[in-house]
Chain A
Amino acid sequence: MSDCCSTATIEIAPVTRVAGKIQTVALVGPPNSGKSTLFNRLTGLRQKVANYPGVTVEQHYGKMSGVDRGDLTLIDLPGIYSLNTHSEDARVAVSVLRGEMPGAPAPDAVLLVLDSLHLQRQLMLAAPILSLGLPTLVLLNMSDLMETRGGEVDTLALARELGVPVAKISATRGTGLDSIKHFLDQKSGIVKAVAPRLELPVVGNPRSYRQWATGISTRTKYKAPISSAWTHKLDSILLGRITGPLLFLVVVFGVFQVVFSVGLPISNASQEFLNGLGAKVGLLLGNGWIESLLIDGVWKGVSAVLVFLPQILLLFLFIGILEDSGYLARAALIADRVMRPIGLNGKAFIPLLSAYACAVPAIMAARTIENKRDRLATVLVTPFMTCSARLPIYMLMIAAFIPNKKLLGDFFGLQAAVMLGLYALGFLAALMTARILKSSLLKASSAPFILELPQYRVPTLRSLGLRLIDRGKVFTQQAGTVILCVMIVLWVLGHVPFHADLPQSVIGHIGRWIEPIIKPLGFNWKIGIGLLSSVIAREVIVGTLGTLYGADPATQSLNLQAALRHDLTLGGAMALVVFFAFAMQCTSTLAVVRREMNSWKWPLLQFTYMSVLAYLGALATNVLVSHFF
């Protein structure tokens, strides 16, 4: 990553570049103007998009095959308000744009994406961008929405004012994209040096840009659309004094309940199906070591993880709806009161929330936080948030040990309550840790909370569908590669030396060796092996347990839930999920923290701290649960 802090000066005179052929095109625009949605349209790729500012935090590349120009490279950049750079993501955008980013090709042309719902304000960015002197096409995105809400603008006049072509598009619907193709075809010949005959505002200060933008929008007869009436109506309910927090809780409870009441039966049924399938194939393979490796080893392990796919997809569907609709920013607003005494930056909330999917992108999203210490604190506490890799072990233990009792009629059951408790536990651990960090190591004056509330949008099926497909792919790939390899290694270690029973095998010996350490937590040696293997990634433990219980003759005939009940007390089971709530078992997260912080010090500190907390938390849980139940 670029550590070179490009100084925040703006060239006054437009730099003309005598460019040869266009090879690289950059997508530039203010935050949440729809650059990534357009990027996905133009390249056929799938960068993450959502309805809040700051989704994209580093540059992405793609070939423009979506408009039949596979020979051109498109760069998607984080959103910027100006060429002044205060946060890491904006620094990335500006240095790529100026061709100062090592390893990134300097762009030859710019697609400037502006949200036409707020054109007057967004035009302020046009001044510094046009002064770069690159061939530019201005795209007025969301023009369909602007027009249905009674907004209008004279694009021809705007093009005259700016001295560059202007086109109305809708990236979500894919309309108006021909103009981009046309622009590129036209400019692909030898590009003449663009004669700067524009009157751009002189100094790079917001006030002069502002006056310039206001002048232009008046002369082009820009009429701002009326802000959507139902955003207003919805907000008066969703941010209401009583209804706001209440609906916030209903949303959270509802999500968990559906994940259990709809997702769990699907998971259980697919478990039955996959087990049956394994048994049938096993019969065909005969009763040799091949059958043992493939069915008891690999199949039971991999399928134990795979069956949680439906629940994970359901959860992602909900997160997707919340993100795309614009509710996430409102949730941040409601939760600000909770975050404030902790001393965490208000902007930390969105990275923390998105960590419900995975900590890796969330840690990268912390780049939007300007204050270095605040950013570090956010990065350090993010892995406590319950990521989707924790779901398989939570689901498995809850389904096996917690009775399916109703607490609030059909709306909220005991299983969902325990699950919610685990999420709350992770969130509390994050807050407490942040509090400790902020009052000791990372003291800093609190940065202001400035949150843009996007207008509500109905999430498109296309966008939700693409998310689910991508998430499903990642999950099954992980099961097919990492988990598969771990299972094979485990099976081999479980069968060496030959003809030894599982407890006498290498794996049994390792297990017995670590058993004294984990005994106080209520774990047996199989769980211990699971913990060891899950240092790679959290969901591996479910695969490991599937393989170990599958290989053990005593539990071979049982399904995994029954085998666990046979082997663990309620105290041990709850201690295990608490251990997972706190522990840092994810090599990808450690790697990304090292990369973002440029030092091994922080990930090591984080790993040690979280492991100690996990051990103590599990110990306390085992003692308490065994005492009371």
Chain B
Amino acid sequence: MALSELKIGRTAVIEGLLLPDEIQHHLMHMGFMPETRVQAVRRAPAGDPTVYAVDGMEVALRRETARWISVREPEEGSR
């Protein structure tokens, strides 16, 4: 599923990024790397952007960007 669909408070594992190279590299340097855990922390008051916790850091992304990051929810018990 897309990162933008991740419910607040839930954690998922990043599978891949489908964004232009430039943006993809930038995001990877900020910690959005495949096989990394990411948590949806909260939404901005207007409902978008959303704050994500990745790699001990909080980064805000708009829905239009987050929908191009694919994630999977970890299987039950793996946490």
**Partner-B contacts on A (CB < 8 A):** 81-82, 84, 86, 117-118, 120-121, 124, 206-207, 210, 224, 227, 235-236, 239-242, 244-245, 333-334, 336-337, 340, 346, 370, 446, 448-453
- Could you say which residues of chain B place their CB within 8 Å of the CB of A207? 28, 33-34
Identify which of residues 40-70 in chain B touch chain A, using a CB-to-CB cut-off of 8 Å: 42, 44-46, 48-49, 51, 53, 55-62, 64-65
Tell me the minimal C-beta distance from A91 to chain B in angstroms: 13
- Could you say which residues of chain A place their CB within 8 Å of the CB of B27? 450
**Cα–Cα distance between A333 and B30 once the two chains are bound (Å):** 17
A-B contacts, 12 of them at CB < 8 A, read A118-B55, A124-B29, A235-B51, A336-B62, A446-B64, A448-B19, A449-B60, A451-B49, A451-B59, A452-B30, A452-B60, A453-B58
Q: Contact check: which of A81, A241, A346 meets B45 at CB < 8 Å?
A: A241
Known: A120-B55, A333-B49, A448-B65. A81 touches B42 (CB 8 A): no
- Could you say which residues of chain A place their CB within 8 Å of the CB of B33? 206-207, 210
Number of A-B contacts (CB under 8 A): 100
- Could you say which residues of chain B place their CB within 8 Å of the CB of A450? 23, 26-27, 30, 59-61, 65
Known: A239-B42, A448-B65. A121 touches B48 (CB 8 A): no
From A82, A118, A206, name the one whose CB has the most chain B CB atoms within 10 angstroms: A206
Q: Please determine whether A81 and B29 come into contact, CB atoms closer than 8 angstroms.
A: yes
Q: Please determine whether B57 and A333 come into contact, CB atoms closer than 8 angstroms.
A: no
A-contact bits for B10-50, CB 8 A (1 contact / 0 none): 00000000010011011111110110000000101110110
- Could you say which residues of chain A place their CB within 8 Å of the CB of B46? 334, 336-337
Tell me the minimal C-beta distance from B4 to chain A in angstroms: 13
- Could you say which residues of chain B place their CB within 8 Å of the CB of A86? 22, 25-26
- Could you say which residues of chain B place their CB within 8 Å of the CB of A240? 45
**Cα–Cα distance between A240 and B42 once the two chains are bound (Å):** 9
Q: Contact check: which of A206, A242, A453 meets B60 at CB < 8 Å?
A: A453
Q: Please determine whether A245 and B45 come into contact, CB atoms closer than 8 angstroms.
A: yes
Q: Contact check: which of A81, A245, A340, A346 meets B30 at CB < 8 Å?
A: A81
Q: Please determine whether B57 and A121 come into contact, CB atoms closer than 8 angstroms.
A: yes
Interface size on B, residues (CB 8 A): 30
Q: Please determine whether A451 and B30 come into contact, CB atoms closer than 8 angstroms.
A: no
Q: Please determine whether A449 and B61 come into contact, CB atoms closer than 8 angstroms.
A: yes
Q: Please determine whether A239 and B29 come into contact, CB atoms closer than 8 angstroms.
A: no
Known: A334-B44, A334-B45. A452 touches B57 (CB 8 A): yes
Q: Please determine whether B57 and A81 come into contact, CB atoms closer than 8 angstroms.
A: no
Q: Please determine whether A121 and B58 come into contact, CB atoms closer than 8 angstroms.
A: no
What are the 8 A-B residue pairs with the smallest beta carbon separation, nearest first? A337-B46, A206-B28, A81-B29, A244-B45, A453-B58, A448-B65, A451-B60, A449-B62
Tell me the minimal C-beta distance from A368 to chain B in angstroms: 12
Q: Please determine whether B25 and A239 come into contact, CB atoms closer than 8 angstroms.
A: no
**Cα–Cα distance between A20 and B38 once the two chains are bound (Å):** 47
**Cα–Cα distance between A239 and B47 once the two chains are bound (Å):** 11
* Given A240-B45, A448-B62, A453-B51, 19 additional A-B pairs, CB 8 A: A81-B30, A84-B25, A118-B55, A118-B57, A121-B29, A121-B30, A121-B56, A206-B25, A207-B28, A210-B33, A224-B56, A227-B53, A227-B58, A236-B42, A241-B45, A346-B49, A448-B61, A448-B65, A453-B58
Q: Please determine whether B44 and A337 come into contact, CB atoms closer than 8 angstroms.
A: yes
**Cα–Cα distance between A86 and B22 once the two chains are bound (Å):** 7
- Could you say which residues of chain A place their CB within 8 Å of the CB of B57? 118, 121, 452
